[in-house]
Chains A and B, each alone.
Chain A
Amino acid sequence: MIIRATDRVLVMGITGKQGTFWTERMQAYGTRIVAGTHPTKAGGLHCGVPVFATARDAMKGAGFDVAVLFIPPLMVKEAALDAIEAGARGLVVLTEHIPVQDVMHFVAAAKERGARILGPNTAGAVTPGECFAGFMPAFNERVFRKGSIGVISRSGSLGVLFCLNVVQAGYGISAFVGIGGDPIIGTTTREALADLDAFPGTEAVVMVGEIGGSMEEEAAVYARTMVKPVVAFIAGGAAPAGRKMGHAGAIVMGNKGSHASKCSALEAAEVTVLDTPSDVGAALKARLGR
């Protein structure tokens, strides 16, 4: 899912501290925030937009395309189902620590209704020069200068580091897609890769993965079919097996999810695999020829 300037955005949980802080930043950057929700504060204005009790009310009252959720873990399932039933085209689920069975529930509902989900446990999405959704430093020109490199990341902070390095190397970012660090997420690495493959103005993709699961291996199968070059980095090579490394999804069990397995699958698909994030500029130069 790539967020565009034309997308009308609903902020669920807009009145909270983080909801307010990031809504103001999204508005300042150009995100078209049209409404917010709070279950008991409907009727007023917050950050200059009307507040509704539910996403369904917001759809009737204001209309929206994408919902961004600033909602506590145990309440996300209900809020996400509300947004999906309201007819959202996309959801950005920022929350970490949502019970996995809740995630599977709203991901299944979204699939049935044709809605796309980014996250859970994502820092969001940025389309430089247009808008952003979530909590990313889109407004920082050293990190998010507009350009032609698409970036996919499971981690927000590491995604920021890569965008910074891409921009320092003289390139810019066409779109940043934060897919989230949970074991089960709405948009997989492979699906994000397909989105950026189809996104006009994207000449190459930087894929930032990490140990755990098999998403990078599955993305490698798609990368093999792409004309656009792909450069990848997999975090967690120095991590011990059997421990969750901060992200619930980042755990190596047996051989499954290992750094070596991911790197070899990507290399076999002619993806350039980086030893360090600082090499991303040189790798793009080698692949793009300029």
Chain B
Amino acid sequence: MNFEEHAAKPLLAARGIAVPRGGLARTPDEAAEVAEAIGAVVVKAQVPAGKRGKAGGIKLAATAEQARSHARAIIGMEIAGHKVEKVLIEEHVPIERELYAAVLNDPSSKGPLVMFSTAGGMDIEEVAATAPGKLRRQPVDIRRGFSRADAGTLIRGLALGAAEAKVADALTRLYEAYAAFDAELLEINPLVITRDGRVVALDCKFVMDDCAIVRQPDLARAGTPEKLTGLEATARAAGLKYIDLEGNVGVLANGAGLTMTTMDMVRHHGGRPANFLEIGGEAYTQAKPALELLLSKPGVRSLVINFCGAFARTDVMTQGVIEAIEALKPALPIFFSVHGTGDEEAVKLLKERLGVTPLATMDDACRAAVAAAK
């Protein structure tokens, strides 16, 4: 789950990392009001996406009037597919130096990774690609955590001067926040040293681990819900993993890998998948609602139903599919491929109830569905 800047910064502040003074505004008037109390400000579009500055979503304002007019321009803009509904108005901090600091889950070391760079304010993937020497990385044993001494070691020799102790302190606190808030990414870019020697987080990106939402529900309420289409929202509410795509060949399969592969094979055989819909794991008993959902999607011309049972029993999934087909009597052609746990029973059920024989391979089923959709 993504958190917008205005929702992420209070989390840093709660852990003792300095952030600029400011407030959230939903209208130009509110923006002017916040700016009035501060002086020179930065007006920042609030969307769960990066590169807001390049998109024109971040502007300096010397006066409250300027803040008002910038807010008027920014509210309503579209940035990376998100409509801007609010702006963060913050004091303009005089910058001496821009740094980068982050803690994230690292699959390679199988633990947290603290990253630090003196090339702050830039796209960090670009820094990693063009000047890897400027990016310091420290894998952490999560059982021991990241101490002040560890932070000191990570930033040693970078000529941070009088601010060095404050930067080390901020890094330690950043790690604590990462651990406390079940972050999968907590990033400050830039972390700045101000002309008067303070260390301040000018921006913050926080992505919370979706699997931890159930144990931190209060925290998660401040996050930005994922942008979903109508069908995606219906599916989510029903506990189904569904993603809308542009094509016309509907896909229903069990397990993430098999479902992706079914989409791939539709494309491989010259078609366009209409969706991702999987009923693997515990959801394998949900075949009936899943198929009903898929049949309600406009523009779907044919369906591939591809089951390969491991944990998910193909006979149970097939039973659900048959019930949905008997209830809704869809007119569009449906092609089956069924293998693995429970397949003998599943094939028998399809023959008896629908008079259908599954195709020999998933390729055959995808090829047939693509041809039928044309």
A residues with CB within 8 A of B: 18, 73-74, 94, 96-101, 104-105, 107-109, 111, 123, 135-137, 140, 142-143, 153-161, 164-165, 181, 183-186, 188, 208, 210-211, 213-215, 218, 233, 235-240, 243-250, 254, 256, 275-278
Contact = CB atoms under 8 A, between A and B. Distances in A.
Nearest to A215: B107
Q: Main secondary structure on chain B at its contact with chain A? A: mixed
A137 B265 CA distance: 24
B211 A159 contact: no
A161 B243 contact: no
B10 to A, nearest CB: 21
A135 B311 contact: yes
Given A155-B257, A235-B261, A238-B267, A108 B209 contact: no
A108 B142 contact: yes
A276 B363 contact: yes
B250 interface: no
A243 B263 CA distance: 14
B345 interface: no
A246 B241 contact: yes
Contacts of A218: 108
26 contacts: A73-B214, A97-B211, A104-B105, A105-B142, A108-B141, A143-B340, A153-B257, A156-B310, A157-B255, A157-B308, A157-B310, A160-B308, A161-B261, A164-B339, A184-B105, A210-B257, A214-B107, A214-B108, A215-B107, A235-B260, A238-B263, A239-B276, A243-B243, A245-B259, A275-B268, A276-B363
Contact of B362 (A99, A104, A278): A278
Contacts of B106: 184
Given A154-B257, A156-B310, A245-B276, 11 more contacts: A73-B214, A109-B143, A137-B340, A142-B339, A143-B339, A156-B257, A157-B340, A183-B105, A235-B260, A235-B264, A238-B260
A159 B310 contact: yes
Interface in B285-325: 307-312
A100 B184 CA distance: 8
B107 A213 contact: yes
Contacts of A153: 257
Contacts of A137: 309-310, 340-341
A174 to B, nearest CB: 18
B260 A239 contact: yes
Nearest to B276: A245
A29 to B, nearest CB: 13
Contacts of B105: 100-101, 104, 183-184
Given A157-B254, A247-B256, A73 B311 contact: no
Contacts of A245: 243, 256, 259-260, 276
Nearest to B112: A104
A190 to B, nearest CB: 10
B7 interface: no
Nearest 8 pairs between A and B by C-beta?
A: A155-B257, A246-B256, A157-B255, A158-B257, A135-B311, A157-B258, A156-B310, A247-B256
A140 B112 CA distance: 40
B287 to A, nearest CB: 14
**Interface range, B side:** 35 or more
A18 B310 CA distance: 13
B235 to A, nearest CB: 12
Interface in B145-169: none
A155 B340 CA distance: 14
B110 interface: yes
A159 B278 CA distance: 15
Contact of A157 (B215, B266, B312): B312
Interface string B208-234: 011110110000000000000000000
B196 interface: no
A153 B278 CA distance: 17
B340 A140 contact: yes
B223 to A, nearest CB: 15
Contacts of B362: 161, 277-278
A111 B142 CA distance: 12
B241 to A, nearest CB: 5
Contacts of A107: 110-111
A181 B241 CA distance: 14
A123 to B, nearest CB: 4
Interface string B101-131: 0000111101110000000000001000000
B273 interface: yes
A140 to B, nearest CB: 7
A101 B265 CA distance: 35
A206 B265 CA distance: 19
Contacts of B264: 235-238, 276
A245 B263 CA distance: 11
Contacts of B268: 275-276
B308 A164 contact: yes
Contacts of A186: 110
A208 B245 contact: no
Nearest to A165: B361
B358 interface: no
A155 B141 contact: no
Contacts of B267: 237-238
A239 B182 CA distance: 27
Contacts of B243: 240, 243, 245
Contacts of A247: 256-257
Interface in B176-214: 179, 182, 184, 209-212, 214
B253 interface: yes
A210 B256 contact: yes
Q: Counting chain B CB atoms within 10 Å of each CB, which of A104, A161, A247, A277 scores highest?
A: A161
B290 to A, nearest CB: 13
Given A100-B209, A105-B143, A275-B268, A155 B256 contact: yes
Contacts of A183: 105, 107, 184
B28 interface: no
B211 A99 contact: yes
Contacts of B142: 101, 104-105, 108
